[in-house]
């Protein structure tokens, strides 16, 4: 197997790990761990983002009907995560591979310190040849604190670790040009950075145990590819899919990467939280989204919608309030307010610290 990738993030959906009856698919997990062990012996670093805690919990306990939905999910995930990791631990051990559990929340990506602590931990694990197995900390991630799904989490991890590729394993062969269950639908081989209208060809439904569905999966994959990281969506229920994919001989969908973004830009792209909000005019919007190295100057600002301090992440929005991107402020809201519309002033956001979201 000759692959140009040296560090990959592999995301496995609940459906890949679960049989139709809801019980964990041990043969599947065995095949996946064997593949990862082989990739590792070929010098490829692998970070696994694995769903399946809730599904695994269902195989251990029955939640009483009257339990509220949040408590039920917490209960199933807390119980199931232990079993899931025990299964991985045992199966990786057969290949002499050590694995580790990393549970994260959305908050960990919003706070620079948490972010760096997390990143340092991954670095230490990889340097020590340990396979990190990442999942959302479902016990504390409740409703608005939750990731959209583990695809979003995998995208954030891939950007944070500057991975060479993100591989998303689902229960379909890739992104189809229509409902995969309908005759005539075929797998789209490549999706380019400009494609955004996924809802026009992707059915809104999701698989039996999945959370996000293919529309959110594709939107996330697109976002990661725009940072310069190729994203592959393939069928994890097929034996040896990772090995086949990395040898370029299985049908799947590739989200073709754009220009590689800097570490700071990757961080900006992975953080959803911004303190301030700055509104800009049409000219500034066009310039900032042109793909050129253009900074946000006060002359293009029309209003400061929410306060911020120097060094904070700010949201840049257009006159209709639509998000254009995220940036790091070079000075605080008070100074920015004084300079609104003025020429020849220092940029509020330098282009190295701006990440467009459109």
Binding-site residues for substrate: 51, 138, 150
CA distance 127 to 137: 24
Among 14, 31, 141, 295, interactor with ligand ADP by CB under 6 A = 14
The residue (of 173 and 318) whose beta carbon lies closer to ligand ADP is 173
Q: How far is the CB of 213 from ligand ADP (least distance, A)?
A: 5
User: Is residue 155 part of the contact set for ligand VHF (CB under 6 A)?
Assistant: no
The option from ligand ADP, ligand VHF, none interacting with 341 (CB < 5 to 8 A, set by class) reads none
CA distance 177 to 276: 39
Question: How many CB atoms are located within 10 Å of the residue 29 CB?
Answer: 21
User: Is residue 202 part of the contact set for ligand VHF (CB under 6 A)?
Assistant: no
Indicate the DSSP class of residue 332. Answer: -
Give the three-state DSSP class for 238. Answer: coil
User: Is residue 135 part of the contact set for ligand VHF (CB under 6 A)?
Assistant: yes
User: Is residue 218 part of the contact set for ligand VHF (CB under 6 A)?
Assistant: no
Among 179, 195, 240, 312, interactor with ligand ADP by CB under 6 A = 179
The option from ligand ADP, ligand VHF, none interacting with 39 (CB < 5 to 8 A, set by class) reads none
- Positions in 155-174 near ligand ADP (CB under 6 A): 170-172
What DSSP assignment string belongs to 142-187? -GGGS-S-HHHHHHHHHHHTT-SEEEEEESSSS-BSS-TTSTT--B
The residue (of 161 and 214) whose beta carbon lies closer to ligand ADP is 214
CA distance 93 to 20: 27
- Please identify which residue in the block is written with the tokens 């209003």: 303
How far, CA to CA in Å, does 180 sit from each of 185, 192, 203, 211? Answer: 6, 20, 9, 18
CA distance 152 to 221: 8
User: Is residue 211 part of the contact set for ligand VHF (CB under 6 A)?
Assistant: yes
The residue (of 175 and 278) whose beta carbon lies closer to ligand ADP is 175
How far, CA to CA in Å, does 92 sit from each of 29, 54, 89, 144, 192? Answer: 10, 21, 5, 34, 36
User: Is residue 180 part of the contact set for ligand ADP (CB under 6 A)?
Assistant: yes
DSSP tally for the chain: helices H, then strands E: 12, 13
User: Is residue 269 part of the contact set for ligand VHF (CB under 6 A)?
Assistant: no
The residue (of 205 and 283) whose beta carbon lies closer to ligand ADP is 205
Among 3, 8, 10, 15, interactor with ligand ADP by CB under 6 A = 15
Q: How far is the CB of 135 from ligand VHF (least distance, A)?
A: 5
Count CA atoms closer than 13 A to 242's CA, side-chain side.
Answer: 27
The option from ligand ADP, ligand VHF, none interacting with 214 (CB < 5 to 8 A, set by class) reads ligand ADP
User: Is residue 216 part of the contact set for ligand VHF (CB under 6 A)?
Assistant: no
Q: How far is the CB of 22 from ligand VHF (least distance, A)?
A: 12
Q: Which residues bind ligand VHF (CB under 6 A)?
A: 13-14, 51-55, 77, 135-136, 138, 149-150, 209-212
């Amino acid at each position: 197997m000759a692959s140009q990738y040296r560090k990959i993030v592999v995301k496995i959906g609940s459906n890949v790990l679960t049989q139709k009856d809801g019980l964990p698919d041990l043969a599947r997990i065995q095949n996946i761990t064997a593949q990862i062990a082989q990739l590792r012996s070929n010098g490829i670093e692998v970070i696994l983002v694995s769903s399946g805690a809730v599904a695994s919990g269902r195989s251990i306990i029955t939640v009483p009907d009257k339990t509220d939905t949040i408590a039920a999910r917490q209960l199933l995930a807390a119980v199931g995560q232990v079993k899931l990791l025990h299964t991985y631990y045992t199966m990786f051990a057969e290949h002499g591979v050590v694995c580790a559990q990393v549970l994260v929340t959305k908050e960990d990506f919003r706070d620079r310190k948490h972010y760096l602590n997390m990143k340092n931990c991954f670095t230490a694990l990889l340097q020590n040849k340990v396979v990190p197995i990442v999942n959302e900390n479902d016990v504390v991630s409740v409703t608005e604190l939750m990731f959209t799904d583990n695809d979003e989490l995998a995208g954030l991890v891939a950007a944070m670790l500057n991975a060479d590729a993100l591989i998303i394993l689902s229960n379909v062969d890739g992104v189809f040009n229509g409902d995969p269950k309908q005759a005539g639908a075929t797998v789209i081989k490549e999706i380019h950075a400009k494609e955004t209208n996924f809802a026009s060809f992707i059915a809104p439904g999701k698989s039996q145990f999945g959370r996000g569905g293919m529309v959110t999966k594709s939107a996330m994959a697109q976002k990661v590819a725009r940072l310069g990281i190729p994203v592959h969506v393939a069928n994890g229920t097929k034996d040896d899919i990772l090995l086949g994919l990395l040898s370029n001989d299985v049908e799947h969908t590739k989200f073709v990467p754009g220009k590689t973004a800097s570490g700071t830009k990757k961080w900006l792209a992975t953080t959803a939280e911004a303190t301030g909000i700055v509104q800009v005019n049409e000219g500034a919007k066009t310039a900032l989204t042109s793909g050129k190295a253009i900074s946000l100057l006060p002359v293009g600002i029309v209003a400061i919608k929410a306060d911020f301090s120097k060094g904070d992440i700010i949201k840049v929005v257009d006159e209709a309030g639509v998000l254009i991107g995220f940036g790091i402020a070079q000075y605080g809201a008070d100074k920015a307010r004084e300079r609104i519309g003025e020429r020849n002033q220092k940029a509020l956001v330098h282009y190295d610290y701006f990440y467009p979201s459109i």
